[in-house]
Amino acid sequence: MDAALARLLTSSQALALLDAMPPYSRDSAESIGRELRAGGVAPELVAAVLTQSRLRADAGVKFGDFAAGMLFTQDGLEQATRLPIAARHAQRYRAAGIHEVADLTCGIGADAMAAAALGLDVTAFEIDEATALVADHNLRHWDGARVVHADALDVVSQMEVGGIFADPARRNARGRRHDPRDSSPALDAVLALRERTPAVGVKVGPAIPHDAVPDGAEAEWVSVDGSVVEAGLWCGPLATTVGHAALVIRDNGAQRLTGSTDHAEPSALTEYLYEPDGAVIRAGLVGELANRLGAGTLDPTIAYLAAPAPVTTPFARGYRVLEAMPLKTKVLAGALRARGVGTVDIKKRGVDVTPEQLRPQLKLRGDERATVVLTRIAGRRTALIVQPL
């Protein structure tokens, strides 16, 4: 999106058209576009409004009902923090007694919105003019929030501000970048601001290597409904626990795991198998979880845990092991057919098997459904028929 299109979208005519749009449907979008153009609406405005209607529909996952009044760019929506997580970011600053925050890379304004909603004074920087205009629209409800079209690193060093937040861009024309040194701005440049403002928070990709976490900081990996969505580096008074943490968010609430990043002790296969949440794995807290479950690892390179008894934990999915066998297609197929299994859910970790290719090779018929785990146990390729707890 260029600046001219962003200005067009923030016009009263465009916003009125957008607010009058019915719920987005790909099937009806073309006919709605024809009707608008036939009614004299400029083609470029029609295209822009239809795009925003689609983006608002997609944004419901991250922003809920707030999406209905927001504007978006495609890249901005993809990188934007989910609103409940952005609220948790903002709560760190408020809990630390910080009242003014500089958001160095505000994008479409998600984190700035959450901070302003908690009563923080927010200066939101955005280097791209079109995105800055979009963010300015999204922050229009809060008097304590302002958007500045500028390179924040050129300005923030001259500001008196209590805390700094950044969500550096991790994409370019070639796609997603995993090395934090390749983000824009670079992670090192953001962390250097701690010399003047100790309270620095940085949203980073969950693939960030552990050796990129600065000393004395808290690194928190976050998963939502089983999917790891981000990691955050929290410095100075924003760090609640120095070291690594996993935040697991599900419908029944949010739970945090902290502790040792030591490896889990080895274990033989038991009747109960646990698959740690992705945030726990990314945070390197599998050993900590194993200690809490009284469990051990089946293979030192794979994050499956064997426990002697069933336990309830928000940090792992549990299974009862019904049968174990060597990972051979004929052996597995025979075991499943003996159980009358016609439908199989395949989970794998640490083996070079493609479930989509294996499934038809099993040639299953039957009315039962089963879950199969393909993994290594003490280096041996193994198939497990399991029952979710």
List the chain domain ranges.
3-71, 77-256, 272-388
pLDDT of residue 27: 87
Q: Judge if pTM exceeds 0.85.
A: yes
Residue 271: in which H helix or E strand, if any?
Answer: none
Closest by alpha carbon to 318, among 222, 234, 215, 388? 388
Residues in the chain: 389
Both tokens of 95, joined, read: 């809990």
Q: What is the CATH number of domain 77-256?
A: 3.40.50.150
Contacts of 158 (CB under 8 A, 6+ apart): none
Closest by alpha carbon to 264, among 289, 281, 246? 289
**Token match 């552990």: residue?**
210
Both tokens of 318, joined, read: 């549990």
Task: Give me the helices (H) in 156-209, please.
Answer: 187-191
Contacts of 104 (CB under 8 A, 6+ apart): 125, 152, 153, 156, 164, 165, 166, 185, 190
Query: For residue 120, what is the DSSP state?
Result: -
Spatial distance between the Cα atoms of 168 and 162, rounded to a whole number of angstroms = 20
Mean pLDDT by 10 residues, the chain (389 residues): 91 92 89 91 93 95 93 94 95 97 96 97 96 97 96 87 91 56 83 95 95 95 95 97 96 93 94 97 97 94 95 96 97 96 95 94 94 94 96
Spatial distance between the Cα atoms of 315 and 193, rounded to a whole number of angstroms = 34
Q: What are the counts of helices (DSSP H) followed by strands (DSSP E) for the chain?
A: 14, 18
Spatial distance between the Cα atoms of 119 and 88, rounded to a whole number of angstroms = 14
pLDDT of residue 173: 47
Spatial distance between the Cα atoms of 103 and 368, rounded to a whole number of angstroms = 53
pLDDT of residue 179: 65
Contacts of 62 (CB under 8 A, 6+ apart): 77, 80, 81, 82, 83, 110
288 in the Ramachandran plot: left (φ > 0), alpha (ψ -120 to 50) or beta? alpha
pLDDT of residue 273: 97
**What angle is formed at CA 131 by the lines to CA 205 and CA 160, rounded to 5 degrees?**
75
CA separation, residue 265 to residues 138, 239, 243, 274 (Å) = 50, 29, 21, 14
